[in-house]
Structure formats: C-alpha cells, structure tokens
C-alpha cells in the first residue's frame, strides 16, 4: 500500500508514536547531532563507533531497541559515505536512496532524521526519499479502477488506503539551517505522481486518460490555459509527426499545451515532453524482450506535467512557462504508419520513415516546431525516454543532454547536481550528424545510416532539425535509463526541471 510521506520541522519528540526511528548522514554530520537521538549518549556513541563509512553504492547501519514506559522501539543509525566525485550530486542522494530502501519498514510507520552538512542538500535527498515510496500498486485489487479495462465482472472492492506514514526531518550540521520544506513537499509530490503515471499500464493510462489526468491537475490553477489538439485535428493543423505515430491506436494521439503567463513575464520557456503511452515499435516491431516496460515511454511528458504544476503552484515564476505534451500510442493496425511513408512535419520538413520504432523523435519534432511557431520561447527544453544508446553513453544514473548553448549546458549540469537528477553532456555537432539522416526522396529520414555514430546525439539532432530558424538556447534531455530502477519508475525529471525553474536563465 502507498505510504503517506510527510516532511516536518525537527522537534524533540520526532521519534514518538512510531515503531522505527532512523538517523542517517555522514559520520561527521551524525556526530554533530548526537543530542537529538532518543537514547543515552553512550549508546549513540557506541552505535556510531561501530559504523563503517559506507561503500560507493550504499551506507552502513547499526540498530538497537529502546525501551520507554514498557514500550520497545527500534533505533537505526546509518552512515553514508562522504566521498563524491565531480560528476555526482554533492549531497549523495543516491546513497540515501539505496541505504533507506533496505531500512524503511514496509508494514509500519517510521520517522527519519537526515543529518546534512548544508541546508541546500535537503532538496535532492527529499526527492530521493520520495522515490522510495511508490504510489502505484494493484496488489489486492479485485476491481479495476475507473477508466481501466475491467478484469472481472465479480469485482467487489479495492484495498483500503495504508495507514503507514513516513515522516522526514532534516538536521543541518553547520551554517544556515533554514530549509524550504514547502519546495521539498511540492517536488516530492511531483516525483511520486510522475512515478505513478510511469508505473501505470496502458490499460489504465491511454492518451485519453493522460489528458483527463492533466485536466484534473491544472483545474485548480486558474491562471493556466490548456489547449488540446487531438485525433484528426492534428492532421488538419499539420502536426503529422504526432498524428502519424498514433493514428493506428484505439485512443487518438494529441498535442496538449499548458500555458502560464504572469503579468510581469519578460521571458518565455517551453518544456516539450515525449508521451508515448505504449511503444510496440509499430510495423518495425520490437522483439518480446524489448517490448516489456514500454509503458514507461511517456516518462518525459509525465515529468513535465508534474513539474509544471509544482512550478506554477509555487507562484515564484517570473516568466511565461509552457508545457507541451506530445501524446500517442505507437500501435499496429490497418492505419499504422509504414516504413517508406513520407511524413509532412509541422516544421515544413519532410521525413522518410525508415524505422517506425524511431517514433519519439517524430512527435518531439512536431512539439518543438509548434513551440517555435506559436509560443515564441526564449528557451526550449525537450525531455524524453528516447534512446537505448543513452544508457551506453551516460549510464543508468545520468540522463544525456545535447545542448546548442554552452551557458545553458553548464546550468543544466549544475541543476542536475543540485536536484539529484544527474545529467551529462553529449556531443553537439550538427555538421557531422545531419548527414546521417540523408534521404533521396525527402528532407531527411527518421533513423540513421550508421548506428555506431553517436546514436543519442544523432537522435537529438533529428529533433533539432525541426527548430527551423530558431537560434536561441535549446536543450534535449534523454532520460531513458534514469526513468526507472529495476521495475519501478523513479519520477526522474521533476526535480531537475524545478531546479531549472529557479535558475537565472
């Protein structure tokens, strides 16, 4: 069952009312907060002395049972490493994630004190803890949720919500101790909601259901305008990249634009997300081993939706923000797009399809072209679970970014380290990559000639080919691997975008 996640100020009674109390941090940080432990100083020191500093991947823990008024509760002390390389987040949220994953009880409430050296570390660690507590589960359900495909006519009930609560407090070892808990709460909520969407099967999250959820999320935000172009209207508007990918599915494809513009806005930012709710590969059919998990191919659009709601709700934005969601299901059927088809993109470019499984770049090509032509952005970010080559290029923890601007690239890398949603730059060199898409009958093909030539950069370049005359900063974020760990979504992208929303772009 989904746990309730609470971020609360640290008080002397932080450990009361729960069965498990956890204190976690580097050994240096732990030493500085010994006074908050619900045990004798000698016991705390004994536990601390027996802790190892942690390995590269996870920390070490020691525990003891504490008796008070005849009631026994468990105290767990955890040490994470203080080592951090230059390409990692200084707060090491990854260590908190892997360590607490084994320690947070799954059947009872717990309270956690996170000891940190700097107040600024709280944001990334809070988001990491949010990833540990997924919202989506259908275990124990006998009735399909509203909008999902029914499983049984005899269904009677759904499980009751869990009473389990996880409460997180932060203790700052030194320096300024003020922590913006509201920002952490909003980000954590967005991370968990994004992971919930990404974990949902397409039987519950079709393109239509995605739009319904987006509508419900933004409804309380009265200053937000929502535009939906769906089905045949996409073709009428010239959005054939999105339309072609999704036209064979039962539920129609759509372009959804969420717009927020404060009165004093002087800049405009567009976030463009890939929202392929399922990817069979189309007629270029994926093998069975590669199709499982393709419900997650809408992770970019899910992250952008949640981050947009959190950013607008904060009332701190001083610029216009647009969230552009490119939604489709890449299905097979009589209307399916074929290899050899020519697609007339919204950018005015033509694309010869040589691989229907390279569909994400087609919908994003329309998404950024729409942004350029209709939204007048000063900055464009697109986010997508785009290429398997991303994992080869930057691994499972770092998203790959391709950016046409040195200053923006540096800011995105910095935001990744601050938020815990790590990124690493890839090659941006259009003059070497555009030829990979050469076609005899169209302006370009949608897949490359040589699959060993900077695959992730090439995919980004295809998207950039549809920017037209746009010369302002653009950043592509390929988060195919960080979007999930094992079989669970991580909510990757929300924290990164929220950190970027606070940056001086």
Q: Supply the residues annotated as catalytic.
A: 286, 361
Of the candidates 178, 171, 120, 124, which has an alpha carbon nearest to the alpha carbon of residue 14?
A: 171
Residue 456: Cβ within 10 Å count: 24
Q: What angle do CA 108, 111, 113 make, to 5 degrees?
A: 155
Burial of 380 (0-12, 13-18, 19+ CB in 10 A): buried
Residue 331's alpha-carbon distances to 286, 335, 346, in angstroms, are 11, 9, 22
Tokens in use for 53?
Answer: 């500093």
Strand 165-172 with 4-7, pairing: parallel
φ, ψ dihedrals at 214, nearest 5°: -65, -40
> Can you tell me the distance from the alpha carbon of 78 to that of 352, in angstroms, rounded to the nearest whole number?
56
CB neighbour burial string for 386-411, b if at least 16 within 10 angstroms, e if fewer: bbebbbebbeebbbbbbbbbeebbeb
Which 3 state secondary structure label does DSSP give 227?
A: strand
Of the candidates 283, 229, 274, which has an alpha carbon nearest to the alpha carbon of residue 252?
A: 229
φ, ψ dihedrals at 370, nearest 5°: -60, -40
Contact 323, 228 (CB under 8 A): no
State CA 27 to chain mean position distance.
31
State CA 289 to chain mean position distance.
24
Contact 240, 344 (CB under 8 A): yes
Alpha helices (H) in 132-239, listed in sequence order: 181-199, 207-218, 232-237
Residue carrying the six token digits 């690493």: 424
Alpha helices (H) in 287-405, listed in sequence order: 288-291, 299-313, 360-374, 389-394
User: Beta partners for 7?
Assistant: 168
Tokens in use for 187?
Answer: 């980000």
Q: Mention every residue, 6+ apart, whose C-beta is less than 8 A from residue 36.
A: 10, 12, 14, 23, 113, 171
Tokens in use for 84?
Answer: 């951090």
Tokens in use for 413?
Answer: 């890398």
């Amino acid at each position: 069952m989904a746990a309730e996640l609470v971020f609360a100020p640290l008080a002397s009674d932080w450990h009361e009312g729960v069965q498990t109390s956890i204190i976690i941090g580097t050994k240096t940080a732990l030493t500085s907060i010994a006074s908050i432990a619900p045990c004798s100083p000698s016991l705390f020191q004994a536990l601390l002395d027996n802790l190892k500093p942690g390995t590269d991947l996870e920390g070490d823990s020691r525990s003891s049972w504490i008796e008070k008024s005849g009631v026994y509760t468990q105290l767990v002390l955890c040490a994470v490493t203080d080592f951090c390389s230059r390409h990692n987040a200084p707060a090491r949220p990854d260590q908190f994630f892997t360590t607490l994953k084994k320690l947070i009880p799954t059947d009872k409430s717990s309270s956690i004190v996170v000891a940190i050296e700097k107040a600024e570390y709280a944001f990334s660690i809070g988001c990491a803890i949010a990833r540990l507590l997924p919202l989506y589960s259908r275990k124990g359900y006998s009735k399909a949720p509203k909008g999902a495909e029914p499983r049984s006519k005899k269904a009677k009930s759904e499980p009751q919500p869990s009473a389990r609560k996880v409460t997180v407090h932060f203790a700052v070892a030194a320096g300024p101790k003020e922590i913006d808990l509201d920002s952490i709460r909003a980000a954590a909520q967005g991370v968990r909601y994004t992971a919930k969407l990404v974990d949902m099967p397409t039987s519950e999250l079709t393109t239509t259901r995605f739009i319904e959820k987006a509508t419900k999320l933004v409804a309380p935000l009265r200053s937000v305008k929502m535009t939906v172009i769906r089905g045949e209207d996409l073709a009428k508007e010239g959005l054939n990249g999105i339309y072609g990918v999704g036209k064979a599915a039962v539920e129609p494809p759509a372009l959804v634009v969420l717009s927020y513009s404060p009165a004093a806005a002087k800049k405009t930012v567009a976030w463009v997300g890939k929202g392929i709710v399922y990817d069979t590969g189309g007629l270029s059919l994926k093998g069975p081993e590669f199709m499982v998990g393709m419900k997650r191919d809408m992770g970019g659009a899910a992250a952008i939706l949640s981050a947009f709601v959190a950013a607008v709700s904060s009332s701190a934005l001083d610029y216009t923000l647009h969230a552009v969601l490119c939604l489709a299901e890449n299905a097979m059927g009589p209307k399916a797009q074929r290899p050899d088809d020519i697609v007339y993109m919204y950018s005015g470019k033509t694309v010869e399809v040589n691989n229907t499984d390279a569909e994400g770049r087609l919908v994003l090509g329309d998404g950024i072209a729409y942004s350029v032509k209709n939204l007048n952005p000063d900055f464009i970010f697109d986010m997508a679970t785009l290429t398997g080559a991303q994992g080869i290029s930057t691994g499972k923890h770092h998203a790959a970014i391709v950016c046409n601007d040195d200053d923006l690239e540096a800011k995105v890398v910095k935001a990744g380290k601050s938020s815990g949603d790590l990124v690493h730059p890839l090659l941006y060199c259009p003059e070497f990559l555009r030829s990979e898409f050469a076609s005899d009958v169209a302006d370009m093909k949608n897949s490359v000639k040589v699959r060993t030539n900077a695959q992730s950069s090439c995919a980004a370049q295809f998207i950039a080919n549809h920017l037209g005359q746009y010369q302002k900063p653009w950043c592509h974020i390929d988060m195919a691997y960080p979007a999930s760990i094992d079989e669970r979504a991580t909510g990757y992208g929300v924290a990164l975008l929220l950190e970027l929303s606070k940056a001086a772009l």
